[in-house]
Structure 1
């Protein structure tokens, strides 16, 4: 019997991607719930798990109705709840906040490719959940003194317009550079904040990875995070802006992996994509060409780092293949 409302290729693809991301987050949240000794954090993590479980069930039901094979995603085999804590002091909620940033961006993209009412309703609901958890996570971290605010600035009193190309200059090391505008300051603060969390995450991954090339890949990622933090902090210091966007957390000495290498590699794969988008935003909306150039070069480094990770995932059979169109050329060629 033919479906009355079949999904389009773009909807099948984004739902598949959403399932991968949601099951990954659920496995990580399960571990953080198990290790958390702070009730407010456990409540926040537990509330998110319940919300995501509901939508994962919705996705599975939709796959069944449409005759789509259910993706594998991340399962209970990808998390070890008995592993000792790998992170402490609020890292769980700091990382949760970063994940919700990623999710909000993904749902915007997915909604733009949705035409089916049921699919759009799912993304509306997930967007609402992500915005709520992001807000609650931010307020929690501020209350605990874990999250640093961006620098305060003098409030603008007049409207000004840019006069001439000098506003964009900055590549000449011997010329004076103009002061950072508030948008550039916000972009740099966010980049340092995200990379501080990413550095802690991947340090923990490197510490407990067992496969040599996976461990080496995570160590390489640590250096890439450090490079970005150093680059952005130097720009701020050159502009006489001094502040610290710290995660307020540490990595423990545990070497017992709480997650499978498949999950850890996929987590870094998702964050690489988020980083490239973030650097592209920074490149376009930063008006000093020296900062734009540095953002573009960092995006290039992240791209090639991500490509290396994809090769490792494929080599070890950790990269689940997305749904694809029929190979018409192959069908025609084989029908001879």
Structure 2
């Protein structure tokens, strides 16, 4: 098979033949399975976005995303066929109505794209560094590069339109120094130290990602067919509101402004463009991404009050995600990921 050899002394790479006939391992199967599920969903999402986008600069980005996502689905399909693995059901044209009126505004499409690509870079990066086969690593290498391509194009258009929400500007000390005492970790009683730059960043992006997710769930809530799904989306909106309020208060207490309001992002359409199955899967996907984000924020925010905020957020989001999986199982929507054969059931029991 064709792999890629990287010369550490050069920026460019050259393709070489790597003989690798080993079967896919558990990590590679799991990564590729998730890629198929996620990108069959994204094909549906971006087809609808490209169909309903009105801005001539934004529509081509959505069309580009459809093409990129479809290529990823095709690659995994061919790989699984070659390896004799079952193709997941995933999502199809049956899960999207391209004739439905626009549910979100054009600027939201770009913020959605940025958020989706932040998640994609992390997932593809993890899949890359945990895969051994050259063809799989080469695939995720290309996934990372095409994701960065979409991310850059989206931010550039937002910047050109004056819509990009920048992180806060801060004034920092001109001298390097060491921490003098344990008050550095405080945050409940007494005088609090000011926020670290990395803590401000985590709070800021916690607000932004929750706003993007909240608007997605608002659109899902007003178009869901099932009352059970509608209530689940409503619960997610309330959870996002609580998290936004918590993170915002930590910034405003130190006179650091919140990001702009996002109320113009969702239209008043009640016609469902997506199936309830797709909306539930998508909601669980972004809550899973939220768990990863809060774990990373917890690791880089040593002030005690922030540790409490992120620990609580992790618990609440994990519970919300679990309840969503249970709803999908109840409705026959939750597709089982690949797992090892239960060898206890393979025992040859004597017949009488």
Shared fold per TM-score greater than 0.5: yes
Q: Indicate which of 286, 290, 293 corresponds to 1:278.
A: 293
Q: Indicate which of 179, 194, 212 corresponds to 2:194.
A: 179
Counterpart for residue 258 of structure 1: 273
- Name the structure, 1 or 2, with higher relative contact order (CA <8 Å, separation 6+): 1
CA RMSD of aligned residues (A): 1.5
Stretch moving more, 133-142 or 245-254: 245-254
Counterpart for residue 217 of structure 2: 202
Are residue 32 (structure 1) and residue 49 (structure 2) matched? yes
Give per-residue Cα distances to partners, 1:71-102, cap 9 Å, x unaligned.
Answer: 11110000000110111141111101111011
Give per-residue Cα distances to partners, 1:117-157, cap 9 Å, x unaligned.
Answer: 11111100001111121122122122222221111112542
Distance 2:195 2:40 in 1: 40
Counterpart for residue 203 of structure 2: 188
Are residue 49 (structure 1) and residue 74 (structure 2) matched? no
Distance 2:187 2:52 in 1: 47
Q: CA deviation at 1:181?
A: 1.2
Counterpart for residue 226 of structure 1: 241
Counterpart for residue 311 of structure 1: 326
Alpha-carbon distance change, 333 to 221 in structure 1, aligned in 2, over 3 angstroms? farther
Q: Indicate which of 77, 96, 99 corresponds to 1:60.
A: 77
Q: Indicate which of 33, 36, 42 corresponds to 1:16.
A: 33
Q: CA deviation at 1:161?
A: 1.4
**How many residues were matched structurally?**
332
Counterpart for residue 4 of structure 1: 21
Distance 1:245 1:147 in 2: 10
TM-score, reference length from structure 2: 0.91
Stretch moving more, 325-334 or 221-230: 325-334
Distance 2:317 2:260 in 1: 21
Q: How does 1:45-194 map to 2 (within 5 A)?
A: 45-172=62-189, 175-194=190-209
> Which runs of 5 or more structure 1 residues have no equivalent in the other structure?
none
Q: Indicate which of 311, 321, 325 corresponds to 1:296.
A: 311
Alpha-carbon distance change, 334 to 319 in structure 1, aligned in 2, over 3 angstroms? farther
Distance 1:13 1:90 in 2: 34
Distance 2:251 2:48 in 1: 36
* Aligned 8 A contact 1:31 1:79 in 2: yes
Give per-residue Cα distances to partners, 1:201-222, cap 9 Å, x unaligned.
Answer: 1011001112111100000000
Partner of 2:237: helix, strand, or coil? Answer: helix
* Aligned 8 A contact 1:15 1:59 in 2: yes
Distance 2:234 2:72 in 1: 35
Partner of 1:263: helix, strand, or coil? Answer: helix
Counterpart for residue 12 of structure 2: none
Distance 2:260 2:288 in 1: 22
Q: How does 1:206-217 map to 2 (within 5 A)?
A: 206-217=221-232
> Which runs of 5 or more structure 2 residues have no equivalent in the other structure?
1-19
TM-score, reference length from structure 1: 0.95
* Aligned 8 A contact 1:146 1:248 in 2: no
Are residue 238 (structure 1) and residue 269 (structure 2) matched? no
Q: CA deviation at 1:334?
A: 4.7
Give per-residue Cα distances to partners, 1:10-52, cap 9 Å, x unaligned.
Answer: 2111100011111111110000000001111111111122122
Give per-residue Cα distances to partners, 1:187-240, cap 9 Å, x unaligned.
Answer: 111010111111111011001112111100000000000000000111111112
Partner of 2:180: helix, strand, or coil? Answer: coil
Partner of 2:99: helix, strand, or coil? Answer: coil
Alpha-carbon distance change, 18 to 240 in structure 1, aligned in 2, over 3 angstroms? same
